[in-house]
Amino acid sequence: MSSERGLLLWALPVTAVALVGAVVAGLFARNVYGGVAQRVESAPESSASPTPEGEPPGTRRVALSEGARRHPDAEAVQRLLQRHFNSINKDKYYLWRSTVVRAKRINQPYEQWQDEYHSTEDGTVVIHRIVPGPDATMRVVMSFISTQDPADAPKSMPAGCLRWRVVYRIVPNSEGLRLGQGLPDSSLSKRCAEN
């Protein structure tokens, strides 16, 4: 009986140490390998409803939040997105092509791009957060306002003015940073009149 008690007393500290070790390892793994979606979801709710300067869609300047400004690639990301939104606002397909990866250019030829964007104007663009993604990519949490002919709006929400909250994938390549293919379930929109 005493040998069983001694074995039990020895096993309790070993079990406790193993349990504490597992908890610490789990917390470490969550912090190091935590999903981008979790980090993206913590963006402030106010980012879903930017306030335009003047009439919608508002200013055409791409702005950085204080948190996004601290990222080492913030200025390069801002310049890329400024060119991207300028290309849409000025109806310049070839400028747009210079902001996206090759696969996106192939999947959106000129005629399709014109059908989707010919009446679109984007503004009040705010980069809220820049977080790391897999394989040296980045995820950019943004909000912006678009105005368009309701016929050119998403079929699920045919409105002349929409507020967007999106996550864009930024991919480094030999030409610099480019917008990657869209991520699944990476955009939310609501009509501008909705609060």
Query: What would the mean pLDDT of 186-193 be, rounded to a whole number?
Result: 93
> Alpha helices of the chain — where are they, by DSSP H?
2-33, 36-41, 66-69, 74-89, 93-97, 102-107, 110-117
44 pLDDT higher than 60: no
H or E element, residue 179:
strand 176-179
* Interatomic CA distance for residues 79 and 32, integer angstroms: 29
Name residues whose C-beta falls within 8 Å of residue 105's C-beta, 6 or more positions apart in sequence.
97
pTM value?
A: 0.74
Mean pLDDT of 129-155: 95
pLDDT of 54 reads 76
pLDDT for 34 beyond 90: no
**How many Å apart are CA 82 and CA 100, to the nearest integer?**
13
Rounded to an integer, the average pLDDT of 83-88 is: 98
User: Confidence band (pLDDT; 50, 70, 90) for 175?
Assistant: confident
Mean pLDDT of the chain: 81
> What fold is seen in the domain 42-191?
Nuclear Transport Factor 2; Chain: A, (3.10.450)
